[in-house]
Amino acid sequence: MSEDSLEIGGLKLASRLFTGTGKYADDAVIPAVCEASGSEVITVALRRVDLESTTGNVMDCIPKHMRLLPNTSGARNADEAVRIARLAKAMGCGDWIKIEVISDNRYLLPDGYETAKATEILAKEGFTVLPYVNADLYIARSLVDAGAAAVMPLGAPIGTNRGLKTKEMVRILIEEIDLPIVVDAGIGRPSEACEAMEMGADAVLVNTAIATASDPVMMARAFGRAVKAGREAYLSGPGARRTQASASSPLTGFLAEG
C-alpha cells in the first residue's frame, strides 16, 4: 500500500490511533503503551499543583516524539476553555488543543454551542483545534466554519467502554464533513475501533479502554492493530451487502449433472 498518512494542522501522522494518559494504575507503563500502540498523539489535562505534596510528573512518562494534545477538561464554558488552552500553550507544548466543554456531570456530554465559540476564538489565535462534541451534523458544520482542524464526535459517554453507540450519526459526519473525523470517547474494545475505521473515520482516540485493561500494553498493541486493520478494510473498498445468498463457487458443472 502506498503511503497513507493523516494530516492534521500541517502534521503528517502515520498512526491513526490517539491515546490518553488518564486512569493508569501506574504512569510508568505509558512509554510501553506508546510503543506498543504506535500512537503519535497523546492527551494530557491541566490541573492545579497540589502544594502539599509533590507527586510524579506525567510529562516524564511521555516519549519525546509524541505530539501533545492537551484537553480543556474542567472547562464549563467557552471562556474557561480558552483560558485553559492559553495556559496549556504557555507550557511550551505546541499549539494543539482538544476543546472539551462540559457542564453535565452525569454523562459528561459536551456543550456544542460553547465548544464552537471556544473553537472560533482559538483557531483565530493560531491553535490547531480538535473539538470534542456530540455526533451532530449541525455542530460539526459550525466547527468547520469556526476553523477546527478536526471534529471529534463521541462514540459513547466518556469512560463507559460501550462502543460506537452513535454509529449512524458518525457515519453521516464522515460522509458530510470535509475535516478529519476522530471518534473520541466510549470506544471500549479493539473491534469497535476497527469498526469506526472501516466506516471511514480518520482516527480514534482511546484512553480508558487501554488504561484500565489488566494488561494495558497488550491492549494498546491490540488497538494499534485493530485501527490499522479497519483502515485497510476501508481503503480496500468492502463488497456490497446482500440479503440473499450469492454463491462464491460456480453453480454449473456439478458432478451429478447429465
Minimal distance, residue 117 CB to other proteins, in Å: 19
Minimal distance, residue 175 CB to other proteins, in Å: 27
DSSP string, 105-172: TTT--B-HHHHHHHHHHHHHTT-EEEEEE-S-HHHHHHHHHHT-S-BEEBSSSTT-----TTHHHHHH
Separation of CA 182 from chain center: 4
Q: Among residues 89, 98, 117, 228, which one is catalytic?
A: 98
For the question of residue 98 being annotated catalytic, the response is: yes
Neighbouring CB atoms inside 10 A of 238's CB total: 9
Interacting stretch for other proteins, rule CB under 8 A, among 16-24, 169-177, 233-241, 245-253?
16-24
185 marked as part of a ligand binding site: yes
Residue whose C-alpha is closest to residue 8's, from 182, 212, 137, 142: 182
Give the three-class secondary structure for 248. Answer: coil
Q: Is 64 in the site for other proteins (CB under 8 A)?
A: no
Report the distance separating Cα 197 and Cα 236, nearest Å: 12
Q: Is 63 in the site for other proteins (CB under 8 A)?
A: no
The residues in 150-209 that bind other proteins, with binding defined as CB under 8 A, are 158-159, 185, 205, 207-208
Q: Is 22 in the site for other proteins (CB under 8 A)?
A: yes
Nearer to other proteins, 9 or 159 (CB): 159
Minimal distance, residue 210 CB to other proteins, in Å: 10
Nearer to other proteins, 42 or 201 (CB): 42
Q: Is 20 in the site for other proteins (CB under 8 A)?
A: yes
Cell numbers 476497527 label which residue? Answer: 194
126 marked as part of a ligand binding site: no
Neighbouring CB atoms inside 10 A of 165's CB total: 16
Q: Is 94 in the site for other proteins (CB under 8 A)?
A: no
Q: Which triple of cell numbers denotes residue 129?
A: 483545534
Give the three-class secondary structure for 71. Answer: strand
Binding footprint of other proteins on the chain (CB under 8 A): 20-24, 27, 43-49, 51, 54, 57-59, 70-71, 73, 83, 86-88, 90-93, 158-159, 185, 205, 207-208
- Which residues are designated catalytic? 98
